[in-house]
């Protein structure tokens, strides 16, 4: 079966590169993936499948193998980022300020390839494959949560969900995986510190929100350094601070945006409580007011150990043990976490840079992100193989 799948994947690779280039040139922002969803729907119909729309711009389809087996779900995300592409390539984004800079074009293409392979092999396995093309991975509340709300994990309910993500740190040919807790929770912080503006030469008449906000930024780090268990990673970052006064003008208010991330759900809730208490209390102690809005983001992502062990073993059989890399925990967040909180799930990484470093070395979410397209042979083939193996697992 390995050789059959590898041969099918090799035969598809050139076609899939063209699919990926089309998607890359026509990126759509989160929850606006109408053309992408229509494209995916057409591709699935051409395979003889009956795709359905879900969560407005999501697509779901089933591949029925021989009757009687379990259902396994495979997930890809379809949205792009608000980034202006700087790559000068033939398939450069045609849309100003919008770019597939997180490889979701590769994920969508790869899952279409996996679908083609599994559709050709459906008499060879028992069970059902549920293909999930979700919208809006990059923006809270996350397309995964909306798809789950709309029933993507019912009728039929999958026994497990597999997801794949591009990974520029690894060369094409290698894959990365980690059992257990792998990625962080992420909550968004929106804060306004209100004081009283005025002439910079007369602080006694004003209430300087810039100074109050500065104290808050510094003091809030003690939640990470003094309140958090030192064995539990936590990150607090403020990436936006706007105090729009002048050299001699103290503004009325300061606006801040930030993120809090950790790898423990209970500590997450406690830390957010500490943060609110500290920001509001510190501002009040200085005579100012702090309005803090916490937008709950994605939960922690867990790779279920038994499923992950089976997936890792199947990976090693496909690419060789030496090409399976055990990953460290990472404090990025990913809405695949919703699938992992709903049931057994495994999220793994596909190496996407050239072995010689000539292509695909830029990080995700940067204007020069790209992949070595030869990953479009391993990506679909591996996922088809993992699916066949998992459906046969006891």
Q: Rule CB under 5 A: which residues touch Ni ion?
A: 102
User: Which residues is 254 bridged to in the sheet?
Assistant: 193
Residue (37 or 78) nearer to Ni ion, CB:
78
* 3-state helix, strand and coil shares in percent for the chain, rounded to the nearest 5: 35, 30, 35
Of residues 146 and 388, the one with the C-beta less far from Ni ion: 146
Phi, psi of 336 (to 5 degrees): -55, -20
Q: Which is nearer to Ni ion, 53 or 363 (CB)?
A: 363
Minimum Å gap between C-beta 377 and Ni ion is 21
Strands (DSSP E) along the chain, which ranges? 52-54, 58-64, 66-77, 126-134, 160-171, 175-177, 180-183, 185-194, 198-199, 234-242, 249-250, 253-262, 289-295, 301-303, 324-326, 345-353
CA distance 64 to 57: 23
| 289-295 and 185-194 strand pairing | antiparallel
Q: How far is the CB of 328 from Ni ion (least distance, A)?
A: 18
Active-site residues: which are they?
79, 137
Closest residue to Ni ion, judged by C-beta, is 102
Distance between CA 212 and CA 303 in Å, rounded? 42
> What are residue 388's DSSP bridge partners?
none
Closest CA to 109 of 387, 378, 392: 378
Identify which of residues 192 and 361 has a Cβ nearer to Ni ion in the complex: 361
Instruction: Tell me the sheet residues that pair with 72.
Output: 129, 160
Least distance (Å) between residue 136 CB and Ni ion: 11
Q: How far is the CB of 343 from Ni ion (least distance, A)?
A: 21
> Is 188 within 8 Å of 139 (Cβ atoms)?
no
| Shortest separation between residue 219's beta carbon and Ni ion, angstroms | 33
User: Which one, 109 or 119, has the nearer CB to Ni ion?
Assistant: 109
> What is the three-state SS of 361-390?
CCCCCCCCCCCCCCHHHHHHHHHHHHHHHH
CB of 246 to Ni ion, least distance (A): 40
66: β partners = 126
């Amino acid at each position: 079966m390995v050789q059959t799948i590898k041969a099918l994947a090799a035969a598809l690779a050139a076609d899939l590169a063209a699919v990926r280039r089309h998607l890359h040139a026509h990126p759509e922002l989160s929850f606006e993936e109408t053309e992408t969803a229509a494209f995916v729907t057409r591709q699935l119909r051409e395979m003889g499948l009956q795709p359905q729309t879900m969560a407005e711009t999501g697509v779901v389809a089933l591949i029925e193998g021989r009757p009687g087996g379990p259902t396994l779900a495979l997930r890809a995300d379809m949205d792009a980022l608000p980034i202006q592409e700087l790559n000068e390539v033939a398939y450069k984004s045609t849309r100003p300020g919008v770019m597939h800079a997180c490889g979701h074009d590769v994920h969508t293409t790869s899952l279409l390839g996996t679908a083609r392979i599994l559709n050709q092999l459906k008499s060879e396995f028992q069970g059902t494959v549920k293909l999930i093309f979700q919208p809006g991975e990059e923006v809270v509340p996350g397309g995964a949560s909306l798809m789950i709300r709309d029933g993507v994990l019912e009728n039929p309910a999958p026994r497990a969900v597999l997801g794949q993500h591009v990974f520029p740190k690894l060369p094409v040919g290698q894959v990365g995986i980690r059992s257990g807790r792998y990625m962080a929770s992420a909550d968004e912080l929106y804060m306004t510190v209100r004081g009283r503006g005025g002439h910079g030469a007369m602080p006694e008449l004003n209430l300087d929100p810039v100074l109050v906000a500065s104290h808050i930024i510094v003091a809030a780090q003690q939640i990470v350094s003094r309140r958090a268990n030192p064995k539990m990673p936590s990150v607090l970052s403020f990436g936006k601070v706007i105090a729009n006064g002048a050299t001699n003008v103290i503004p009325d208010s300061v606006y801040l945006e930030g993120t809090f991330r950790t790898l423990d759900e209970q500590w997450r809730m406690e830390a957010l409580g500490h943060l609110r208490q500290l920001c509001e209390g510190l501002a009040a102690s200085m005579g100012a007011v702090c309005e803090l809005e916490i937008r709950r983001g994605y939960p922690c992502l867990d790779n279920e150990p038994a499923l992950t062990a089976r997936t890792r073993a199947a990976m090693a059989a496909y690419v060789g043990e030496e090409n399976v890399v055990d990953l460290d925990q990472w404090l990025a967040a990913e809405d695949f976490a919703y699938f992992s909180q709903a049931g057994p799930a495994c999220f793994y990484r596909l190496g996407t840079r050239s072995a010689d470093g000539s292509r695909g070395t830029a990080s995700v979410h940067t204007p020069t992100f790209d992949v070595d397209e030869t990953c479009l042979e391993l990506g679909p083939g591996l996922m088809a193989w993992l699916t066949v193996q998992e459906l046969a697992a006891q």
